[in-house]
């Protein structure tokens, strides 16, 4: 069994946005060094000052260095038949594969991460960074943050780990894995992943200090997290590098998963959540009476000081919904702010508006239609119970809305009958109402797929 221990230096942390500046490779049988290869690489990009401060590599050093394309065949040849080994292998392997892909070349090697291997075999160390683990174990580590210097330190670490009674067995089992376990971020324990359920709920990515980095919801928690771990976007690569633990809560219901996700984001303000960190949905449909006595509906883009009949994520959604209401109840598009004209609205000529815009239809008759429309779009003003799937076959989830206000959610036995709002409140945990919650509820109610009981 031969190993190709690889270390690279780069212009930054993410393979999709940065390039390799130096490569160091050591070929070993696990006991002695069989071959070496090292080279600077022209990155075709400016090296940031903080990278130069860390590695000592600057633009002048790589100005006349070979391009990756010119050394690609050498790298393929020297690593042929070897297991790719690196400290945090996802980083080095990802950059190498991306560099080959840039020139339409294929690179694939089985791989071993010495961070994960060290954590499995030496679980009580205080740190697993290459510099600190070398210091703790008394291993040589010279010329830090240069490719060959770090590759040599990784060689000494691998050699020590292979002398462990379970070292070879660990490698054999790791190489046999054909699942996502082999692609897990180096700091994420396998147990955190293997215990994930394939059910609806909410999940959290946590950093080394237990702080929430990202909160999400999913119909299948495990599959959604696999998507995060396989993504190559800049944001997801940050998540993969910073995650140390996963936590989750099964909800059974997609609605409750969305409500809980929104609540947790507002409570913890996770660094990598960009949506719903604050109550940013200020758009809605409002109702007022004009100086001619006509009750009017309109889209308001800023409902900070007035509670709308219903909230929307953006004005386009609100306007689309109001247009549907106008058509259904023969309301006047002009009075609803959907048309601007000094004369009668366009719908009047098509007999879809009865002339409220030019006061041909009395405000009394028109206001009755508006009242019926408000009853439909103002479901938030009602008291209702929403029933959905539970966390297991013997229960149902329950959401309580009282006089338009979201009160909370809970779970009840599947065959339990709930006759009143007061009875329902005994089964729920109180929750905070806000604009995003109203938007979520409105969205699910409008789909018409949930069992509801209106009071």
Query: Using one digit for the tens of pLDDT, what is the confidence trace for 26-46?
Result: 999 999 999 999 999 999 899
**Cα gap 16→5, rounded to integer Å:** 23
Residue 413 confidence (pLDDT) above 70: yes
pLDDT recorded at residue 277: 57
**Cα gap 332→295, rounded to integer Å:** 11
pLDDT recorded at residue 402: 87
Q: What percent of the chain has pLDDT over 70?
A: 96
Domains for the chain: give ranges and CATH numbers: 3-176 (3.30.420.10), 190-268 (3.40.1440.10), 283-377 (no CATH), 381-454 (no CATH)
* Mean pLDDT computed over every residue of the chain: 90
Query: Using one digit for the tens of pLDDT, what is the confidence trace for 227-240?
Result: 999 888 888 989 99
Tokens 């702080």 correspond to 211
Query: Using one digit for the tens of pLDDT, what is the confidence trace for 324-369?
Result: 999 999 999 999 999 999 999 999 999 999 999 999 999 999 999 9
Residue 428 confidence (pLDDT) above 80: yes
Mean pLDDT of 366-394: 85
Cα-to-chain-centroid distance, residue 382 = 34
């Amino acid at each position: 069994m031969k190993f190709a221990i690889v270390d690279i230096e780069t212009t930054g942390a993410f393979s999709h946005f940065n390039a390799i500046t130096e490569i160091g490779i050591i070929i070993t049988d696990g006991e002695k060094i069989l071959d070496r290869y090292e080279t600077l690489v022209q990155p075709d990009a400016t090296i940031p000052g903080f990278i130069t401060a860390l590695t000592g590599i600057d633009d002048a050093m790589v100005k006349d260095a070979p391009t990756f394309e010119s050394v690609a065949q050498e790298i393929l040849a020297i690593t042929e038949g070897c297991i790719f080994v690196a400290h945090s292998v996802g980083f080095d392997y990802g950059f190498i594969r991306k560099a080959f892909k840039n020139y339409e070349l294929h690179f694939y090697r089985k791989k071993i991460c010495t961070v994960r291997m060290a954590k499995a075999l030496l679980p009580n160390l205080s740190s697993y960074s290459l510099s600190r683990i070398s210091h703790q174990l008394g291993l040589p580590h010279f010329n830090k943050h240069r490719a060959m210097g770090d590759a040599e330190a990784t060689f000494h670490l691998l050699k020590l780990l292979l002398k462990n009674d379970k070292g070879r067995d660990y490698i054999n089992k790791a190489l046999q894995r054909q699942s996502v376990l082999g692609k897990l971020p180096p700091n994420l324990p396998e147990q955190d992943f293997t215990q994930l359920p394939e059910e609806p709920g909410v999940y959290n990515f946590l950093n080394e200090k237990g702080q929430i980095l990202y909160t999400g919801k999913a119909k299948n928690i495990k599959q959604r997290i696999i998507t995060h771990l396989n993504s190559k976007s800049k944001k997801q690569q940050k998540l993969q590098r910073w995650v140390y633990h996963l936590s989750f809560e099964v909800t059974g219901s997609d609605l409750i998963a969305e409500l809980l996700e929104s609540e947790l984001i507002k409570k913890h303000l996770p660094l990598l959540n960009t949506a719903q960190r604050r109550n940013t949905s200020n758009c809605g449909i409002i109702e007022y009476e004009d100086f001619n006595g006509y009750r009017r509906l309109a889209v308001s883009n800023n409902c900070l000081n007035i509670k709308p009949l219903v909230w929307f994520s953006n004005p386009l959604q609100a306007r689309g919904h109001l247009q549907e209401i106008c058509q259904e109840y023969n309301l006047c598009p002009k009075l609803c702010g959907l048309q601007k004209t000094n004369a009668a609205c366009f719908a009047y000529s098509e007999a879809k508006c009865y002339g409220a815009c030019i006061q041909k239809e009395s405000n009394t008759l028109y206001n009755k239609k508006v009242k019926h429309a408000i009853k439909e779009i103002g479901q938030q003003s009602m008291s209702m119970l929403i029933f959905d799937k539970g966390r297991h076959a013997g229960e149902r989830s329950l959401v309580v809305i009282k006089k338009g206000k979201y009160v909370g959610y809970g779970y009840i036995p599947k065959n339990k009958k709930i006759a009143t709002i007061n009875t329902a409140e005994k089964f729920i945990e109180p929750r905070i109402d806000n604009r995003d919650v109203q938007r979520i509820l409105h969205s699910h109610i409008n789909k018409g797929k949930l069992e509801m009981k209106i009071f």
